[in-house]
Structure formats: structure tokens, C-alpha cells
Chain A
Amino acid sequence: MIAAASAPLGAVPAVRMRGISKSFGGVRALDGVDFDVLPGEVHALLGGNGAGKSTILKVLNGVHIPDTGTVEVAGQRLDALTPDAARRAGVAMNFQEMSLIPTLTVAQNVFLTREARDGRGMIDDEDSIRRAEAIFQMLQVEVNPRALVGDLGAGQKQLTEIAKAISQDARVLILDEPSTALAVSDVERLFVFLRKLAAKGVAIIYVSHRMDEIARIADRATILRDGRHVITAPTADLPIDTMIEHIVGKKSKGLADVARGAARRGVALLEVKDLCGSHKPDHVSFTLHQGEVLGLAGLLGSGRSALARVIAGIEPAVAGEIWIKGKLVHISQPSDAIAQGIALVPEARATQGIITAHSVAENMVMAVLGRITKGGLLDRARAAAITDDMIARLSVKTASRDHAVSTLSGGNQQKVVIGKWLATDPDILILDEPTAGIDIGSKSEIIRLVRDLAAAGKAVLVISSELSELLTACDRILVIADGRAHQMLQRAELDDASETDPDHALQAAERRLQIEIQKALTAKEAIHG
């Protein structure tokens, strides 16, 4: 089954990476990885979160300089590994909406720094518009090249990013999760176009978490896990469950030992009925009980976070009902949700969760300032008491309550955000990617904390891209794809009674959950097509 990473004899690989290693602050992101891509093939790059996919792409693209290893493009070794050198060698990559300027038009963005010039050397926007139109016509998608990017929806922005990468006439085209915001029909057209491009000899590296897509578009796939090369093989030889097995691996990474206290499910605290947002969620219903942890599983762009934002009043609900403790409530802004006892710990910790330059104490009481003022003055004794209580309860490691949050580790910063919302004494806690960017030790601590909160009678909703975390933390898991709820899984259903080793059992459950998520995607396609 395991094929060598080398290319067939005779063909000069479009990309040839050898022995690439890269560490970030002592953490090994890549460990001696070999990676070959042939001209004219669509090559899928697969792996879980932290497997090293984006690191190796950034090495190829010149953004990261590897500690060791060599990069060859079309047989030419790149001596200077800079973005400019990579571009000149013919490598183009889409950045997930990172390289678009909202105040410029679509055409101006597509050709930024490579604008068409007229006879006098002046920028010719009309020509850029014509060329952008030609690209969108080739892709057979509708994007107005004259529209301001800031006025576009997520799908149109993604198409603009793709057009920007395509317009460079590259020898190697890297598409990093290009389909997360695209409609099914646009993905189909993108695939047709990529086939044509590959037929012309362009090497295409395609990153996606959607294995149905990989199976259809890619000729070969390379799977990375924990910064190491696992396998490179034709996709025809990789059924979806085999791919998942390689991605997940056999042994867990230290989450299996988190004790899962028995759930003492109480009354229904939150009932969501046919809830719709402006785009996502799409008629989602579920019930969350006291003392229960419910997980939301789905890929990026599936509408997990949108669902959380609608419940928390950050995005408007277009239709549907939210019931809290048996009463129908109307939530139109975040303060309504807070008043109903809902707290959302957002995904982007540094920008939405905490003010890192402020002290632990200042952050902890930020959401309850109204409650701890006396005669217009802040009751500092109470603020200190609340902070000390939270530091003890969540075992936050900080030199003192007056130290700036920026001096804390990622895991402890996350605890401060959680503590800030616990101070509001919510009944329902929503955690969006609570362990993103946190080391493995702190991860299991956060998971343990989530279990403890449920044991203390809170209802917790957890969103995570790391399935092993969801499996460790949750009592039930709701699978979401394209904004719709597909299946409510009992955690126990995913266990295999025959598996006795806890590490293996967790990975077996992860593979099952992964298969359910992928099934939901194809089920969606069946509905659409």
C-alpha cells in the first residue's frame, strides 16, 4: 500500500522538496519531509490540524525558510527561499482572503503589482478588467471585475483569490482550501477548469479537508501527520477510510487520559428550533441540557461558528426560535444573549477575547463592570476577589492578578477568556475553538475544565476542528455541513467495545466521526445535485 514518494522515471518533477525540517520555538512543525509533484497532475495534500500542511506550502512559497532541506522547481534548485524567488520560479498560491484589499476592485486586486500598462506606461484598468473577465469566463463563474472587493460575499472573495493565483500563469499552482466558501456548482466548474489546466502541464497542489473532493479531483495524494510524511499514493488506491486512517494515525496525542465524568443530564436549558441565519445556519434544531457538553463537528465553512454567533446575538436570526429554560426568547444583539445567561467565548482569542496589554484582573472583570461599581467607582476589592476566585478555580498560571495577560502562555490566556465569561455566571457557555494555538498539555487541561463546568451544572456547546477533543469533551456531537444539522451522535455510539487500549479507542472513534462528517458532505451533494 505504501508507495515511495519519488516520481516515475523520466519525468522532471515540477516540485521536488527533500528533507524539509522546520521548527518554531522548539516545536517541530516539519521533520525531514520529502514532497514531489509532477507536471500535469492534481496532487492533494492532506493532514489534520498541525500536521504541517500549511508550513510545507509556506516553505515552497518562500514565506518560511526551512531549517534543513532543499527545494527544486522544474529541476532548478531555489537558492534564495524568498516569496519573490518562488514567484519567479513559477509558484503561485491563493491565500485564504489574506491578500485582498477591500478598497480596490476585483480586477485591481487580481492584477495588483502586475497591472496592465498602456503605451505610455500608465496603468490600464480597462485592460485588467478585460483580462479578469476572461479568467472568470474560463472558470465559468459570475464575478463582476468592477465590484469593490469589500462589497463581495465570502464565495466571490474566494473566487477573486483563485483568479489572482491563476492569473500568474504559474507552473505550480497551490490552492489552499479553495472551496470552503464556494457553492457546489462553482466547485464543479473549478474542478473542470483545474482539469484543463493540468492537461496543459501545470502542477496543481490541492489542499482540502473534504475527501469526496480529493477523491474526484486529485490524481495522487500525500498525507502528512505530526510533521512527517506518511504516504504518497494514487487517490484511486486510497479509499476514504484508508485516507482517514493515515490522517488520524493509530495512537492519540495525550488526550485519551482525560477522565470523562459521567454526564448528569438535567433539564433542557437551550432549545433551538429551525434556526436560520442570513446564509448559515440553515434550519438547525437541537436541544442542550444542563450538565451536558454538546459538540459541533464540521469542516471550515460548514456554519458551526455562524450557528454560535446567531445564538449569541452577534449575527441576526432570519427565522426559527430560541427557547431558554422553556421560554421563547428574542435575541437581537449580544446584550440580549448575555441577559439570558448565554456566554460566547469567541474563536479569535487575541482580538475578540482579551486585551493582552491589560492585566489579568482587568480582563477578568471586563464583562461584569456594571455589577461591581459602587457610586460610579470601581469596587477594587470585589474585582480582586472575583479575579482571585477565577484564578484558583481555573488554575490560571500567572505571577499575579496584576500581570499583563500578554505575559501568560496561550493556554492560560484562554483560561482568562473563559474566566471572564464565567464571571457573568452564565447558564450556557459556548466555546468556539477553545484550544486553537495551545500546546498539548494545556489542551487536556482546557478539556478537563469543560467537563468540570458541565459537572457543575452548566450547559456547554463546544466547536472544534480537532475531533479527538470533541470526542473527549462531549456527551453528544452534532454533525454540521453546509449550514445544516445532519446527525446527532451519542458519544458512546462512536466507541468500539472490542478496543481496550484507550489511545487506540480514541483514534478509532475519531475515524468513525471523520467518516460521519465526510458522509454529511456527500449527503449534501445528493440533495443539491
Chain B
Amino acid sequence: MAKPLTAPKGALLANWRQNIIYIGFVAIFVVFAITLNDKGFLNPNNLLNIVRQTAMIAVMAIAITFVLAAGEIDLSVGAVAGLATVTVAMAIEAAGPFAGVCAGLATGLAVGIFNGWLTTRIGIPSFLTTLAMMGIAKGLAMWISDTAAVPILSPGYSWLFGGGSVGPIPVLLFWVAALGGVGHIVLRRTGFGRRVLATGGGETAARYSGIDTANIKMKVLVLSSCAAALAGMLYAGRLQSGRFQLGEGDELSVIAAAVLGGTSLFGGKGTVIGTIVGAMMIGLINNGLILFGLEFSQQLIARGGIIILAVALSQKR
């Protein structure tokens, strides 16, 4: 249970509902590899493209796994990522790349503390707090950028934050691997991670056990906003500009990735590895459907259907 990756052989199939995401990922990969072979699906470049396109979703999804596991939600991540692209680009323009990085992180920290304060001190449910923040962040981004793209002219920044690659491997993959590894260990093996799972699993019981649940909720919401700001910094580096539209609508893919990966919307359950595979699966499906030559409208329908199927199969009977 605590270590799904070291479970004895055969357990993967025995607990197939729990592991549906891994089984589904492999199944879809194999189907695409066979049917789309002539369209270059297995081409390393195509596979690395999938990584590039889903890295930002994965970064945000790793953090939202903590938010969902604590029984809360964060709908503002996409808009906060968009806002961060703008603040980073403007700070780089004004004072250089280091100031840009600071501005990006400060954006995430400020939004997160505000979300957490409203949720834990004023008592507004995080669904409403972050729904409102979605609009506020987007409005701020449009306002300060005058709805125009802000170019980033720092090659060093662009290389490190999403644009570069080491040999054939995109830098983005390192970001996802590093954050995923840290996130997995923090959720599984630290006191903070255990308190997050306890808070979402039973808030009253957690308080009786001496856990400061308001503090935990505050921390996961700050974590989520900071991850969203980092995703925004990666968007900005990859596209060498800041624009308010970046990250728009990502919150749904981010939540879908976590839920596909086995994290419960009702709190108490979550795995970072599952979330990353969930994000990759969404990228895989998008890529495959494009290679199949489906129109955008058809892609939307097919993607929705696959997600419903996967989540339905993972439900406990």
C-alpha cells in the first residue's frame, strides 16, 4: 500500500483497479505503437514532444496531488501560471533574469498565502477562494501586460526554464523528474506528507491526533500556487515570452491528471507517481489523437471519453 512500486509481482494485476492508471498507460501506449507506427508515433522526437507538452501540467499536478489529498482544491493554477509568465517577463525586461525568477516565485507565494488565508482564517471553501482567484489572476495579468505579449530576451533563462536540452533530453524532463522525485518522497515518507493525508482522510480525527489541520491546508495551497508559478516560468522560458493566455484552462487537465493517477477528490488518498503517469497519459492521448488525424472537436470528445472510462474503472465496487 505504502510502496506500490516495490509490491510483489502479480500484485499489479491483482489490485488492477488501484493500478488501472499504469495498466491503462501501457495499454494505450502499445495500441498507439502498433496502429500509429507508420505515422512516426515511436519516433524519439515525437515521444520527447509529448514530454515537452505535458511537463507544465505535470509540475502543477504534482502539487495539486497534495491539495486534493488534504481534501481541498485549487482551481486557480492555470490563471496563476499565466500571471507568472507576465511578471517574470516584465521583471526580466526591467532588471534581468535573476529578478525574473524572484518575481515569478513571489507571485506564487503571494497568491498562495492569500488563497490559504481566505480558506483557513476567513473560512471560505477553497473551491470558491480559488475560483475567484482564477479571475483575479487572469485580470491582473491582462492589466499589467496591457494584454500584449512581453518578450523574454535572455537566452540563459530560456534554456534553463523549459527551452533547452541536454543532448537529446529536454531540460523540462529534468524539472519533472526532480520535482516528481521530491514530491513522491515528501508525500510518502515525511511527517508533513502523512499529516496531509491524515487531514484529508478525516479532519476531526486528525485534529484529535494533534495535527494543526489549518496549517496543513495553508501549506498545500501555498505549495500549489508556487508550483503554478513555476509552471508559468517554464511556459515563459519555452515560448520566450509572457502572455496572459498561457496556462488558460490547464486547471482541468491538472485535476484530471491527479484523479486519473488515483488521487481522491474527497481527500486522504494520493500518489505523486500516479499523478505524473496520469499527466503523461493525457499527453499521450492528445498526441495519438492528433496523429490519427482527428479534428480538434473529435479530439475533445475522445479525450473526455477515455478519462471517464479510466476513472470509472478505478472506482471501488
CB-CB contacts below 8 Å: B158-206 with A: 185, 188-191, 193-195, 197-198, 200-202, 204-206
Q: A98-B208, A101-B201, A101-B202 are in contact. List 8 more A-B contacts (CB 8 A).
A: A100-B202, A101-B198, A102-B201, A103-B200, A103-B264, A105-B1, A112-B194, A113-B194
CA distance A87 to B3 in the complex (A): 31
Q: Are B190 and A104 touching (Cβ within 8 A)?
A: no
State whether the Cβ of B211 lies closer than 8 Å to any Cβ in chain A. Answer: yes
CA distance A101 to B204 in the complex (A): 9
CA distance A105 to B269 in the complex (A): 12
State whether the Cβ of A108 lies closer than 8 Å to any Cβ in chain B. Answer: yes
CB distance from A148 to the nearest CB of B (A): 7
CA distance A291 to B3 in the complex (A): 61
Q: Are A103 and B210 touching (Cβ within 8 A)?
A: no
CB-CB contacts below 8 Å: A80-120 with B: 83-84, 87, 95, 98-105, 108, 112-113, 115
State whether the Cβ of B315 lies closer than 8 Å to any Cβ in chain A. Answer: no
- Given A87-B210, A123-B190, A100–B195 Cβ distance below 8 Å? no
CA distance A115 to B188 in the complex (A): 12
CA distance A148 to B188 in the complex (A): 16
State whether the Cβ of B2 lies closer than 8 Å to any Cβ in chain A. Answer: yes
Number of residues of chain B lying within 8 A (CB) of chain A: 27
Q: Are B201 and A122 touching (Cβ within 8 A)?
A: no
Q: Are A115 and B194 touching (Cβ within 8 A)?
A: yes
- Given A113-B195, A115-B191, A84–B208 Cβ distance below 8 Å? no
Residues of A within 8 A of B189 (CB): 122-123
State whether the Cβ of A491 lies closer than 8 Å to any Cβ in chain B. Answer: no
Q: Are A100 and B205 touching (Cβ within 8 A)?
A: yes
A97 nearest in chain B by CB position: B205
B interface residues with partner A (beta carbon < 8 Å):
1-3, 185, 188-191, 193-195, 197-198, 200-202, 204-206, 208-211, 264, 267-269
Residues of A within 8 A of B208 (CB): 95, 98-99
CB distance from B212 to the nearest CB of A (A): 10
Number of residues of chain A lying within 8 A (CB) of chain B: 21
State whether the Cβ of A146 lies closer than 8 Å to any Cβ in chain B. Answer: yes
Q: Are A83 and B210 touching (Cβ within 8 A)?
A: yes
CA distance A95 to B188 in the complex (A): 26
Residues of A within 8 A of B267 (CB): 103
What 7 A-B pairs are tightest by C-beta distance, nearest first?
A103-B268, A103-B201, A99-B208, A101-B201, A122-B189, A101-B202, A125-B2
CA distance A519 to B262 in the complex (A): 51
CA distance A205 to B7 in the complex (A): 42
CA distance A112 to B109 in the complex (A): 29
B69 nearest in chain A by CB position: A103
Residues of A within 8 A of B195 (CB): 113
Q: Are B209 and A112 touching (Cβ within 8 A)?
A: yes
Residues of A within 8 A of B2 (CB): 105, 108, 125
Residues of A within 8 A of B210 (CB): 83-84, 87, 113
A164 nearest in chain B by CB position: B209
CB distance from B11 to the nearest CB of A (A): 13
Residues of B within 8 A of A100 (CB): 202, 205
CB distance from B15 to the nearest CB of A (A): 12
Q: Are B269 and A146 touching (Cβ within 8 A)?
A: no
Contact of B190 among A83, A95, A98, A122 (CB under 8 A): A122
Q: Which of B191, B200, B204, B211 has the most CB of A within 10 A?
A: B191
CB distance from B211 to the nearest CB of A (A): 6
Residues of B within 8 A of A84 (CB): 210
B192 nearest in chain A by CB position: A123
28 contacts between A and B (CB under 8 A): A83-B210, A95-B208, A98-B208, A100-B202, A101-B202, A101-B205, A101-B209, A103-B197, A103-B202, A103-B267, A103-B269, A104-B198, A104-B268, A105-B1, A105-B2, A108-B2, A113-B191, A113-B195, A113-B211, A115-B191, A115-B194, A123-B188, A123-B189, A123-B190, A123-B193, A123-B194, A125-B2, A125-B3
